């Protein structure tokens, strides 16, 4: 670059006080370019540095102020429940249908929720089931210190725990897909609460996943099951269906207790940590599924995808446990040359069985 010294031109440093100057001269053509550039960028050069003049910057500041005002919680949005502040608002993408009997919520599959095949993971799917079930209660105003417990349950130190679950996957959503989850609840026997889920593609309405679970009440101090009496369930009655056929039936075959000596695959030394704990002070039932599936060999996971799963939760698990996952090909381990079946058992090494399960896997396309 050649600078031609013809006439003086002074520029204030952007970070200067006006005292320090860059003194150099430019040719007339360069001076015209500086003038045109100054007009195009809408800034002024003065003794105190560069001062923005563009109305765009002012508009940005005004927009940010409006966003901050909208985001700030107001006193009208807060209420006290059991002496604790709580935002009284419906989940942003969820809504109650059929007078509160059905709850519906949309999810966009995030990058953190997919596996190496770009499809949603089993753990993330089960998180959707739990999230919508709890948001159903929250939207209906059933929310206390317990994890989805009614006021009556909290007074009696009762919590919900999962007894068994069954899931059937027709098609896995992928990253950035939008899914719509519907959930509804109804009684099952004298002690159980049943929850059913239907997951569909938001854009096409195609059914992707169907699931059902049975919940029971447990005393969080004695860790023993309790009856679901009319008094305790009173707060939930408005959002429970009186009569309902299950959306999907669980596998009616008895789940087997496996002997490690006769298993096809064994994975030992599995250590749950504090990050696997949930608010009920035991290892999350969702995390236990991950540990159970550790007993499936990598060669199967690469060639097949899980399409059905039945689980029985038999004992609680603490974070200091050392687990062993045992898997064995099922009696119908090869179905139509396209699907294989496994029986599973997750137990404490040298101790009780935690989860018993059966899975079905289909060939990847």
Tokens of 52: 């923005």
269 exposure class (CB count in 10 Å sphere: 0-12, 13-18, 19+) = exposed
Q: DSSP readout, 131-181?
A: HHHHHHHHHTT---SSSS--HHHHHTTEEEEEEEEEEEES---BTT-EEEE
Give the Å distances, CA to CA, from 244 to 89, 208, 210, 286, 304: 29, 21, 15, 26, 34
Whether pLDDT at 230 is above 70: yes
- pLDDT value for 48: 43
- pLDDT value for 333: 61
CATH topology of domain 252-365: Thiol Ester Dehydrase; Chain A (3.10.129)
Tokens of 221: 């101090």
Q: Which residue pairs from 142-146 have beta carbons closer than 8 angstroms and sit at least 24 positions apart in sequence?
A: 142/235, 142/236, 142/239, 143/81, 143/86, 144/81, 144/82, 145/82, 145/84
Using alpha carbons, select from 280, 288, 281 the residue that is nearest to residue 347.
Answer: 288
- pLDDT value for 9: 37
Whether pLDDT at 195 is above 80: yes
What percentage of the chain's residues is helix, strand, coil (to nearest 5)? 25, 40, 35
Sorting pLDDT into bands at 50, 70 and 90, what band is 332? low
- pLDDT value for 273: 93
Tokens of 165: 């679950």
Annotated active-site positions, please? 280, 282, 317
- pLDDT value for 31: 46
Q: How many C-beta neighbours within 10 Å does residue 33 have? A: 12
Pairing of strands 339-348, 353-363: antiparallel
284 exposure class (CB count in 10 Å sphere: 0-12, 13-18, 19+) = buried
Q: DSSP readout, 200-259?
A: EETTT--EEEEEEEEEEEEETTT--EE---HHHHGGGGGGEESS---SSPPP-SPPPPPP
Tokens of 154: 């909290």
- pLDDT value for 75: 36
Instruction: Indicate the CATH number for domain 88-250.
Output: 3.10.129.10
Q: What is the pLDDT of residues 23-55, one digit of tens each?
A: 433 444 444 444 444 444 443 434 444 344 445
The residues near 47 (Cβ < 8 Å, ≥ 6 apart) are 12, 18
Average pLDDT over all residues of the chain = 79
- Average pLDDT for residues 250-274, to the nearest whole number? 92
Q: What is the pLDDT of residues 237-254, one digit of tens each?
A: 899 998 888 999 888 899
- pLDDT value for 149: 80
Tokens of 319: 């974070």
Sorting pLDDT into bands at 50, 70 and 90, what band is 127? very high
For the chain, the farthest-separated pair of C-alpha atoms sits apart, in whole angstroms, at 98
Instruction: Please check whether residue 249 is in contact with residue 330, taking contact to mean a CB–CB distance below 8 angstroms.
Output: no
- pLDDT value for 120: 98
Q: What is the pLDDT of residues 61-96, one digit of tens each?
A: 554 454 344 334 433 433 444 444 444 444 456 999
Using alpha carbons, select from 296, 290, 311 the residue that is nearest to residue 266.
Answer: 296
Sorting pLDDT into bands at 50, 70 and 90, what band is 148? confident
Q: What is the pLDDT of residues 89-118, one digit of tens each?
A: 444 569 999 999 999 999 999 999 999 999
The single residue listed with the structure tokens 């199967």 is 300
pTM, whole model, 2 decimals? Answer: 0.75
- pLDDT value for 363: 93
126 exposure class (CB count in 10 Å sphere: 0-12, 13-18, 19+) = buried
Instruction: Please check whether residue 101 is in contact with residue 239, taking contact to mean a CB–CB distance below 8 angstroms.
Output: yes
Give the Å distances, CA to CA, from 268 to 160, 241, 291, 346, 352: 30, 43, 10, 10, 14
- pLDDT value for 154: 85
- pLDDT value for 240: 92
H or E segment and range at residue 124: helix 122-139
- pLDDT value for 328: 95
| Same fold flag, 88-250 and 252-365 | yes
Whether pLDDT at 181 is above 70: yes
- Average pLDDT for residues 132-146, to the nearest whole number? 82
Domain ranges in the chain? 7-71, 88-250, 252-365
Q: Which residue has the higher pLDDT, 78 or 180?
A: 180
The residues near 219 (Cβ < 8 Å, ≥ 6 apart) are 156, 157, 158, 159, 225, 226
Q: What is the pLDDT of residues 273-322, one digit of tens each?
A: 999 999 888 999 999 999 999 999 999 999 999 999 999 999 999 999 99
**DSSP character for 120?**
B
The residues near 56 (Cβ < 8 Å, ≥ 6 apart) are none
């Amino acid at each position: 670059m050649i600078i031609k010294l013809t006439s003086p031109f002074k520029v204030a440093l952007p970070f200067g006080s006006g005292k320090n100057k860059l003194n150099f001269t430019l040719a007339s053509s360069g001076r015209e370019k500086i003038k045109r550039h100054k007009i195009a960028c809408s800034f002024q050069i003065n003794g105190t540095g560069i001062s923005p003049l563009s109305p765009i910057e002012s508009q940005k500041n005004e927009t940010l102020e409006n966003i901050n005002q909208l985001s700030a919680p107001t006193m009208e949005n807060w209420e006290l429940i059991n002496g604790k502040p709580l935002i009284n608002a419906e989940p942003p993408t969820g809504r109650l249908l059929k007078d509160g009997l059905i709850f519906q919520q949309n999810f966009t599959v995030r990058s953190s929720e997919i596996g190496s095949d770009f499809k949603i993971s089993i753990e993330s799917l089960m998180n959707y089931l739990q999230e919508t079930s709890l948001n159903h209660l929250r939207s209906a105003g059933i929310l206390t210190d317990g994890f989805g417990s009614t006021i009556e349950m909290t007074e009696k130190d009762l919590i919900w725990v999962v007894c068994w679950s069954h899931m059937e996957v027709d098609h896995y959503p992928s990253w950035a897909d939008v899914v719509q989850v519907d959930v509804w609840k109804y009684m099952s026997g004298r002690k159980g609460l049943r929850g059913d889920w239907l997951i569909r593609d938001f854009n096409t309405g195609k059914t992707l996943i169907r699931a059902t679970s049975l919940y029971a009440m447990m005393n969080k101090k004695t860790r023993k099951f309790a009856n679901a009496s009319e008094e305790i369930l009173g707060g939930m009655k408005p959002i429970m269906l009186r009569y309902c056929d299950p959306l999907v039936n669980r596998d009616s075959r008895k789940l087997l207790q496996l002997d490690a000596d006769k298993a096809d695959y064994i994975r030992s030394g599995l250590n749950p940590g504090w990050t696997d704990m949930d608010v009920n002070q035991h290892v999350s039932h969702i995390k236990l599924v991950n540990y159970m599936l550790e007993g499936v060999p990598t060669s199967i996971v690469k060639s097949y995808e899980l399409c059905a799963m039945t689980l029985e939760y038999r004992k609680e698990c603490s974070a200091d446990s050392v687990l062993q996952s045992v898997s064995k090909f099922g009696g119908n381990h090869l179905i139509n040359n396209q699907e294989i079946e496994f029986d599973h058992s997750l137990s404490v090494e040298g101790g009780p069985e935690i989860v018993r399960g059966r899975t079905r896997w289909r060939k990847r396309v």
